[in-house]
Structure 1
Amino acid sequence: MAQTDVLLTKQPAPQTIEPCALPHKEHDMVCNTGAYTSSGLATAGFRTAKYLMDEWFQNSHGQYHQAIMDRTHSERQRQESQQLAAETEALAQRTQKDSTRKTGERLEVTHCWKAELRREVNELVAETDLLLAQKQRLERALDATSLPFSIATDNLQCRERRQHPDLVRDYVEMELLKEAELIRNIQELLKRTILQAVNQIRLNREHKETCEMDWSDKVEAYNIDEMCTHYHNQSTEVQVHPHSIRMEESASTPETWAKFTKGNLIRAERERLASDNLRTFIDCILRDTAEDLRLQCDAVNLAFARRCEELEDARHKLQYHLQKGHAHSTLQEITDQEHQVALLKRAIKDKEAPLRVAQTRLYQRSHRPNVELCRDAAQFRLMSEVEELNMSLTALRDKLQDAEQALHNLEDTRMTLEKDIAVKANSLFIDRQKCMTHRNHYPTVLQLAGYQ
C-alpha cells in the first residue's frame, strides 16, 4: 500500500520555459519608441514591429528547447504512467486475489461453524425426541400407579368390614398402608420429574431455535461470500457501489463473531448434557420405582398368604373342636351332656318313688298302738333308708345342676366357636376373594416402568 501511495503521488509539474523574450532595446525599436527610434521618412513602412535575427534565432532555439523538454517530459510521464498502470494492475490483481483468498478462508471458517451448528441442532433434536419418549414413559408410569393405589385403598376398605375379633391391625394392614404411602410418594416424585422434563424440553427447543437462527444467518452469509468468490473482472452483474466501503456501526469483529457462535454451541451442549443426565435420572427413577412397587406388592401378597394360612388354620381348629362325630368335639360333648342331664333327671325321678314308699311306711308305723310303737330295727332301717334317699336326691340334684351348667357352657362355647368360624370364614372371604383376587390385576414391572 505504501508503494501504491508513492506511485499514486502526484509528480511535481515541470518548469515551463517562457518563449524567448526580446531585449528592451530591440523591443523599443520594434515598437518605434525609446532612444533608438528612427522616425525618418526613409524607413517608414520598413521599420515596423519586426524581430531581429538574433531574436528570431533565439526564439527558434527556445521553441526547440521547449519541444525537446516537452517531449522528454511526455516520454517520462508516459513511462511512469505505463509503469504505474502495470504496478496498479499487478497490485489490483494481487489485492483481488488476496481478497478472494480471504473470502475463501472466511467461507471455510463459516462452513466449519455452520457444520458445528447443524450438528448441534441435529443432536438437540435427537436428544429432545429421546427426552420426549422418557416423558411419555413417566406419564404412562404415573397412569399405571393409579391401579395399584386403587387396589391398596380398596383392600384397606374391604378389610374394614372384618368382624371382631378379626378386626385387628395385623401385618397385612401395615403392609397395605406402607404400599399406599409408597405409591403416593412415587406419584409425587413422578409428577415433579415430569415437570422437570417439560422444563428441560423447553430449554432444549429454545437453544435449538437459537442455534438454528445462527445457522440460518451463517448459511445466508456463506451464500453471499460464495457468490462474492465467483465474481471476477469480466462478471456482468458487478456494479459500482461507492458507499459500500463504509463500515456499519453494528458490525461485529471476528472475535465477537466467533465468541457469539461458540457461546451458542456451549450453551446448547450444556443443555444437551443436562437433558442426557435427566434421561438417565428418569430411567433410574422408573426402574427403581417399578422394582419398589413390585417388591412391596410381593410383600403384601406374602402377608395376605400368611394371614390366610393363619385364618385357615384357626378355622380348621375351631371346626375340629366343633365338628360332630369326634370323641372330644364340643358338639359330641353337648350331646353326651344332654344325655347325662336326662339320666340324672330320670335317676332323681326314680328315687322319688322309693322315698315315698319309705316315708309312707314310716308314717303308717307311727300309728301303731301303745307299746307296739317300738323303735325296732325295721324302724331304724326305714329312717336310714329315707335319709339315704334324701342324700342321694340331694347329690343327684347337685350333679344335675352342675350338668346343666356344663351344658349351658358347652352351648355358649358352641355358639362362640360357630360365630368365630363364621368370622374366620368372612375374613378369609375378604382376604382371598376380595383382596387377593383384586391384586391379581396389579401392573407388571414393564407397565410400572412406563414401557406399556
Structure 2
Amino acid sequence: MDRFHTTLSQKVLVAVPPPPPKFTISEWHLNNRYRTRICLDQQKLADSTIAESDRVIEEVQEKTDLNKREVDHKLEEKVKDIEFNKSEIERQRKEASLEIENLCTYMERIKDCSRSIQEDALKTVRKCLILREGRLGIDLCYDFVEKELKKELQVIEGGQSLLTRVLEQANEQVRRLRSTVYFMDRDLEDKSNVMKIDQHNTSLTNTSLNLSIYHGFSPLDPANISLQEWEQYTRQNIEKSAKEINSARQLRSYVDVLLKQVIDDLQNQYHAVNNAFRRRIEELKEAKTKMEVQHSEIVRQANEMKRVTTRLDKSISEKEGYMALAHTRLGNRAQRPGIELCKDLVELSLVSEVGEMRGNVAWLQQKMAEAQASLRYLLKTQIQLEEDINVKTNSIKIDEVDCMSLRQGMTYHSY
C-alpha cells in the first residue's frame, strides 16, 4: 500500500474529462428523424444526379456520334469535291497538254514553211534579179518582169514577217499553256495529298490505334484560307486553262488561214512572174525575129548597094573614055586652018556633048557619093542589128534558160 502511494506520487497528474452530456429522448427521436431526412435527401439527390448523369452521358454521346457522323459526312463530301475537282483539273490538263502538242505541230509547220520560203523561193527570186542584171544595152531596163519579181520579193518577205510574228505568238502561247499545266500539276499534287489525308481521316475511328491527344503549343487549326478562296483558286486555274486553250485553238485556226493565205499569195505571184517572163520572152523573140528579118533585108540591100556602087564606078570610068574622045575630037578640030575653023554643027555638037557629059559625070559622082553613104549607113545598121540581136539572144537566154530553169525548182504546197 505504501509502495502504491509512492508510485502514484511519482506520476504526473492527468485531468479527467467531464462526462458527455445526456440528451433527452425527444432529442434522440428528433435526431433520428433528421438523419433519416438527410439520408432520404441524399438518396434523392444521388438518384437525380445519376439520372442527370446518364442523360448527359447519353446526350454527349449522341452529340459526339452526331458530330462524328457530320464530320465523316463532310470528310466524304470533301473527298468527293476533291475527286471532282481533280477530275476537272485532269481533264483540263489533258486538253491543255493536247493543245501544247497541237501547237508544237503547228509551229513545225510554220518553221517548215518559213524554211522552204527562205531557202527556196527567196534565194531563187534574188538569183533571178541578179541574173537579169546581166542583160545588155537597152534590154537592161525596168520592165514588167522586173516589177513582178520585186513584187514577188516583197510578198515573200512579207510572208516571212507574218510567219515570224505568228511563230513568236505560238511560242508565247505554248509558254502560257505550260505555265497553266505547271500550276495545275501543283494543284493536283496538293489535292492528291489532301485526299490521302482526308481518306485516312475517314478511315479512322475512336477505337483506331495510334490515336493521341495533342499537347503542343501551336494551334491545331492553322488554316487561314476560306472555302470560297479554295474553290475560287481551283476555278481560276480551270478558267485560266480553258481561256488559254481557247486562245490556242483560235491561234491554230489563224495559223491555218495564214499559211493558206501566204501560200496562195506566193503561188499567185509565182504565176504572175512566170506569165510576165513568158510575155517578155515572147516579146524578145518577136523583136529578135523582126531584127533578124531586118538584118537579112539590110544585108541584101547592102549587097545590092555594093553592086550599084560598082556599076556607078564603072559607068563613071566609061564616061571618062567618052569625055576623052570628045576632048580629042575638039582638040583635033582646033587644028583646022583658016576659014575652016568655024562653029559648024559638029563643033556645036561636040561642045554640047562635052557639057552634057560633064553634067552626067557629076550626076553619077553625086549618086556614087549617095550610094557610098547609104552603104556605110546600111553596114552600120547591119552591125547595130547584129549587136541588138546578140543583146536579145542574151536576154532570152537569161530569162528563158537561166531564170525559168531556176523557177521550175520553186514549189509551194500546203504545210
| TM-score, length of structure 2 as denominator length | 0.89
Q: How far apart, CA to CA, are the structure 2 residues paired with 1:121 and 1:237?
A: 38
1:338-353 matches, within 5 Å, as 338-353=306-321
Choose which of 63, 82, 86 in structure 2 pairs with 1:91: 63
Residue 138 of structure 2 is matched in structure 1 by 165
The reply on whether 1:134 has 2:102 as its aligned counterpart is: no
| TM-score, length of structure 1 as denominator length | 0.82
Q: How far apart, CA to CA, are the structure 2 residues paired with 1:80 and 1:272?
A: 65
What amino acid maps onto 1:406 in structure 2? S
Q: How far is 1:243 from its partner?
A: 5.9
What secondary structure sits across from 1:442 in the alignment? coil
Choose which of 346, 353, 363 in structure 2 pairs with 1:385: 353
State whether residues 291 and 445 of structure 1, in contact with CA within 8 Å, keep that contact through their aligned partners in structure 2. Answer: no
Residue 341 of structure 2 is matched in structure 1 by 373
The reply on whether 1:214 has 2:192 as its aligned counterpart is: no
What amino acid maps onto 2:72 in structure 1? T
Q: How far is 1:309 from its partner?
A: 0.3
1:194-205 matches, within 5 Å, as 194-205=167-178
Q: How far apart, CA to CA, are the structure 1 residues paired with 2:166 and 2:26?
A: 117
Q: How far is 1:317 from its partner?
A: 0.9
Q: Percent identity?
A: 28
**Structure 1 pair 377/395, CA: closer, same or farther in 2 (3 Å)?**
same
Q: How far is 1:338 from its partner?
A: 0.8
Q: How far apart, CA to CA, are the structure 2 residues paired with 1:421 and 1:330?
A: 14
Q: How far apart, CA to CA, are the structure 2 residues paired with 1:242 and 1:127?
A: 51
Q: How far apart, CA to CA, are the structure 2 residues paired with 1:219 and 1:381?
A: 142
What amino acid maps onto 2:253 in structure 1? T
More helix by share: 2
Is 88-97 or 341-350 further displaced after alignment? 88-97
The two structures, once aligned, show a CA RMSD in angstroms of 2.3
Q: How far is 1:51 from its partner?
A: 5.8
Q: How far apart, CA to CA, are the structure 2 residues paired with 1:301 and 1:352?
A: 67
Q: How far apart, CA to CA, are the structure 2 residues paired with 1:76 and 1:249?
A: 43
Q: Deviations over 1:275-328 (max 9, x none)?
A: 2212222222111111111111111111000000000011011111223xxxxx
Gaps of at least 5 residues in structure 1 are 1-30, 33-46, 324-328
The reply on whether 1:399 has 2:372 as its aligned counterpart is: no
Q: How far is 1:354 from its partner?
A: 1.9
Q: How far apart, CA to CA, are the structure 1 residues paired with 2:249 and 2:205?
A: 50
Residue 424 of structure 1 is matched in structure 2 by 392
Q: How far apart, CA to CA, are the structure 1 residues paired with 2:326 and 2:298?
A: 42
Residue 96 of structure 2 is matched in structure 1 by 124
What amino acid maps onto 1:336 in structure 2? E
Q: Which has the higher contact order (CA 8 A, sep 6+)?
A: 2
Q: How far apart, CA to CA, are the structure 1 residues paired with 2:278 and 2:125?
A: 16
The reply on whether 1:302 has 2:275 as its aligned counterpart is: yes
Q: How far apart, CA to CA, are the structure 1 residues paired with 2:88 and 2:329?
A: 136
What amino acid maps onto 2:392 in structure 1? K
**Structure 1 pair 436/382, CA: closer, same or farther in 2 (3 Å)?**
same
Q: How far is 1:242 from its partner?
A: 5.3
Choose which of 290, 303, 313 in structure 1 pairs with 2:286: 313
Residue 114 of structure 1 is matched in structure 2 by 86
What secondary structure sits across from 2:74 in the alignment? helix
Q: How far is 1:261 from its partner?
A: 1.5
Q: How far apart, CA to CA, are the structure 2 residues paired with 1:86 and 1:378?
A: 182
Q: How far is 1:411 from its partner?
A: 0.7
State whether residues 338 and 407 of structure 1, in contact with CA within 8 Å, keep that contact through their aligned partners in structure 2. Answer: yes
Count of residues paired in the alignment: 399
Choose which of 186, 198, 221 in structure 1 pairs with 2:159: 186
